[in-house]
Amino acid sequence: MTAHVAFLRGVNLGKRTVKSVELQAAFGKLGYAGARTLIASGNVVFDARPAKTLAAKLEAGLEAHFGFPIAVILRTQDEMRAIVASGPFAKVKLTETARPHGILFAGARPDVPLASVAGDYDIVRADPRELYLVAWVQPRGGLGRGVTKLLDALNKQSVSTARAWNTLVKCEGSFTVAP
């Protein structure tokens, strides 16, 4: 068995509500007993045999359970350890208004022009299946529109989801199965 994290895209937005207890039950029905959610219900740690069809199996099962499509981006325990150990923000001075994020892709990162937007976000590093950026908190408290535009452009060509860096670190530290 291999430990995985399933990052669910687009849940708990509007009427697309997915509660942690229901999500754990759905994973249990799919044969992944012991699955648990982290931080919010869009992050699920579970054990499974590696398979190219694992994400598709989860997506089909979750859609059947919840009644709407849910994209799943998977990373194994080893992949999560490598992501965190790579330290993409090690040379970045982070402040209260500089929020580090990782964008995870289901497959290869799409070939979309990448450029930082002054005062909105700075791209720190682009890896084959991840993109790391610092998003700047705007005067009204949220992130800028440029981040949304970037995510929209990326999602037109791929399946991806964004997570705050601290969420990725917590997911990496949540595994109970030794590699």
If you search the block for the tokens 């497959």, which residue do you land on?
A: 107
Joined tokens for residue 114: 């990448």
Tabulate helix, strand, coil % of the chain (nearest 5): 30, 30, 40
What is the rounded average pLDDT for all residues in the chain?
A: 91
Query: Tens digit of pLDDT for each residue in 133-146?
Result: 999 998 888 888 89
Among the listed residues 41, 36, 47, the one whose alpha carbon sits nearest the alpha carbon of residue 10: 41
Contact 146, 128 (CB under 8 A): no
The mean pLDDT of 90-114, rounded to a whole number, is 93
* Record: fold of 2-80: Alpha-Beta Plaits (3.30.70)
pLDDT of 176 reads: 59
Query: Tens digit of pLDDT for each residue in 20-57?
Result: 999 999 999 999 988 999 987 799 999 999 899 999 99
The mean pLDDT of 74-84, rounded to a whole number, is 96
pLDDT of 114 reads: 92
Instruction: Show me where the domains of the chain are located.
Output: 2-80, 84-172
